[in-house]
Amino acid sequence: MLKFPKGFLWGAATSAPQSEGHATSNGKTPTTWDKWYELDPTKFTKNQGPENTSNMYDMYREDAKLMPQVGMNSFRTSISWARLLPDGQTVNPEAVAFYRSYFEELHKNKVKPIINLFHFDMPWWLMEKGGWEARESVEAFAFYAKTAFELFGDLVEMWTTFNEPIVHVECGYLYGYHYPAIHDFKKAIQVGYNTIMAHTMAVKNFREMKAKGQIGIILNVSPCYSRGETEGDKLAAKQADLLNTKSFLDPAVLGQFPQELVDLLKENELLPTTQQGDKEAVSTNTVDFIGLNYYQPRRVQEPVQKLVGKATDPSDFYAPYVWPDRKMNVYRGWEIYPEALYDVAMMMKNDYDNMPWFVSENGMGVAEEERFLDDETGMIQDDYRIEFMKEHLEQLHKGIEAGSQCFGYQTWTFVDCWSWLNGYTNRYGFYRVELDNNYKRTMKKSGLWFKELSETNRLKITK
């Protein structure tokens, strides 16, 4: 039996756009997802757009009661910027009533809310002005954050600014998975920089308001493992780590950008446009805690083609490496490597002043999960998900025993949720959502397992 620290947070995470539904009603204006689906629905899983998702807008009261039934004592979700401030300035009273009631229901059921402000859902009114490419987005986000702190600060003690900000950078400006789906390395760097400044100014407002509680940011961390020990492979891993992990983690926790990253961008004429006072703002507005999402490692090798001239893509610095011994989740094309979670724990302890942190996402989704339905019980037998969590929790516990200050573990996700371009292809929840049956929630086997884990605060292992 592996015992976890007293008061450990056990829970799950989701986001407003992936769970609420009512995407074009109740005073909400469009986000990039709503508009993209309208402009080009062929990019999305057929008939699975952002309008309805899992209907938590109507079902949050029932959902809050379901959370303790799977042992959840914490829950992360997000506020929809476009719902709270439909034009960026005017508060939507229906949104205020909805979120206040939502958070109150969580408290009634002894579930601690961890509330995030941005989960890939750029309001369309701001996207038309350039989105994160435009410096105006920094001030707009800071105002939104301040508004949220004022309206819900009495109900929320743990805030985060962004979820996985590197994702809207690379998916929107390098790899085509998010709107505007362009490829421009220079713009991607500017988008990343403006996002960091938006985070910084939100933290600054939180501090100046003397808001209660704590504020952090949620980053997806995939440790970089090099193919081998050659100078080229080691350099590739170092540069991948600089671009994908340290670019956000260092300013958020240490209050500065890595000099090696600055030098790399300068050498390749990729430095972003900055403003006077930015450096000081970053240095004085660090976070109280970090949420780290972990699903897969990042394995890299030296690029086959040596860079000639200036870099135009991250692949100029590193190339993916397929480890021959890897274990795979074939439904996502992701490697399963629990050992990396121990490495993450040690990274936080040794490189980031042992900053308090929690696993803000970890989990496994597969397609056609109904294959595992037990006809007698009506329950999905998702043993593969239980095994995935067990293996990762063993490594997390090892890191905690070694002194890393991890205070919680949240899975993705509570009820099956909508996943951007993939809709409901892969299922992740403790509860199955029956889309053709009024979004009925049905507990899976993993929910029973997680309840025992949470209530005992101990992980049973077999050797």
62 is known as an active-site residue: no
CB 156 within 8 A of CB 79: no
Q: Do residues 162 and 199 make contact, with C-beta atoms less than 8 angstroms apart?
A: yes
The one-character DSSP state at 460 is -
CB neighbour burial string for 318-336, b if at least 16 within 10 angstroms, e if fewer: bbebeeeeeeebebbebbb
Which residues lie closer than 8 Å to 227 by C-beta, 6 or more apart? 233, 299, 300, 301, 302, 321
C-alpha to C-alpha distance for 80 and 118, rounded to whole angstroms = 7
Alpha helices in 250-382 (DSSP H): 259-267, 278-284, 339-351
C-alpha span between 62 and 116 (Å, rounded): 21
Determine the residue type at 146: K
> Any catalytic annotation for residue 164?
yes
Determine contact, residues 30/82, Cβ cutoff 8 Å. yes
Element (H, E) at 93: helix 93-108
How distant, in Å, are the alpha carbons of 193, 210, 261 from that of 271? 9, 34, 10
Torsion of the alpha carbons at 185, 189, 190 and 191, rounded to the nearest 10: 100
Q: How far is CA 425 from CA 75, 83, 332, 365, in A?
A: 23, 26, 10, 9
Catalytic residue among 164, 170, 302, 335: 164
Query: At how many degrees (to 10) do helices 165-173 and 185-208 cross?
Result: 150
Q: Please identify every residue annotated as catalytic.
A: 164, 361
